[in-house]
Amino acid sequence: MIFSTPIFIFLFLPCILAVYYISPSKLKNTSLFLASLVFYAWGEPVYVSIMLFSTVFDYMNGLSIEKFKSQNKYNKAKLVLIISIVGNLAILFFFKYSNFLISNINQLTTLNLTPLDLKLPIGISFYTFQTMSYTIDVYRGEVKAQRNIIDFGTFVSLFPQLVAGPIVRYKTIAEQLKHRVSSINKFSEGVQRFIIGMAKKVLLANNIGMLWEQISNSDLTIASAWLGAICFSLQIYFDFSGYSDMAIGLGKMFGFDFLENFNLPYISKSITEFWRRWHISLGTWFKEYVYIPLGGSREGKKKLIINMLIVWALTGLWHGANWNFVFWGMYFGILLILEKLVFLKWLKRLPNFVQHFYTLFLVVVSWVIFAIDDTSKLKIYLQTMFGLGNVPLIDNQTIYLFCTNIFLIIICIVASTRLQTIINTKLMNFRHEGLIYTVKNICYITIFIVSICFLIGASYNPFLYFRF
Shortest CA distance to 371 belongs to which of 383, 361, 360, 382?
382
Pick the closest to residue 81 from 166, 23, 6, 138 (CA basis). Answer: 138
Q: Is the bond leading into 166 cis (omega within 30 degrees of zero)?
A: yes
Confirm whether 356 is a catalytic residue: no
Contact 211, 224 (CB under 8 A): no
Check: CB of residue 174 under 8 Å from CB of residue 143: yes
Query: Quick check: 341 and 333 in contact, CB under 8 A?
Result: no
| CA–CA distance, 369 with 375 (Å, rounded to integer) | 9
> Number of C-alpha atoms within 13 angstroms, CB side, residue 400?
5
Q: What is the distance between the alpha carbons of residues 171 and 62, in angstroms, rounded to a whole number? A: 13
The type of residue at 135 is: T
Long-range residue pairs from 448-457, CB within 8 A, at least 24 positions apart, any chain:
448/195, 448/198, 448/199, 450/199, 450/203, 451/195, 451/198, 451/199, 451/202, 451/203, 452/6, 452/9, 454/202, 454/203, 454/206, 454/207, 455/4, 455/5, 455/6, 455/198, 455/202, 456/6
Q: Which residues contact 188 (CB under 8 A, 6 or more apart)?
A: none
CA 324 vs CA 254, 313, 328, 368, 372: distances in Å: 38, 11, 6, 9, 7
Catalytic residue (one of 279, 319, 356, 432): 319
End-to-end CA distance of the chain: 15
Q: Catalytic residue numbers? A: 319
